[in-house]
Amino acid sequence: MPRAKKTAAETAEVKEVAVTAPVEEKKAPAKKAPAKKAAAPKKAAAPKKEAAPKAAEERKVVIQYNGAEVAGTELIDKAKAVAGIKEAKSVVVYVRPEINKVYYVIDDNTFGNFDLF
């Protein structure tokens, strides 16, 4: 069966309803007082298991080049010795094995270099 065609007036009514319906939904609902939650009954505290202490992570850097090798910690110690510093907050070491040089920065104010091997 074919549908009956709507007249312009019927189409206008549908459009009005469609436009006015969302406006009614946008009205803010009245504020309600927040509901208080009932206090949950407290459970008996279970005895805590003592965690086994974690072993310290071992870190080691070894630089190998042309059959020779040197440890990263040795480079840091040598940089501090060359600079004449016993204690430092930060030591940054840059290794350039292709030119056999190590550059260092200690506490952002002491700079220098020495031979890698």
pLDDT tens profile 25-48: 455 555 655 666 666 666 666 666
Cβ contact 82:114 at 8 Å:
yes
Cα gap 115→117, rounded to integer Å: 6
pLDDT tens profile 63-112: 999 999 999 999 999 999 999 999 999 999 999 999 999 999 999 999 99
DSSP string, 86-115: S--S-EEEEEEGGGTEEEEEETTTEEEEEE
Residue 26: HSE in the Cβ half-sphere, 13 Å Cα cutoff: 5
What would the mean pLDDT of 54-67 be, rounded to a whole number?
A: 89
pLDDT band at residue 16 using 50, 70 and 90 as cut-offs:
very low
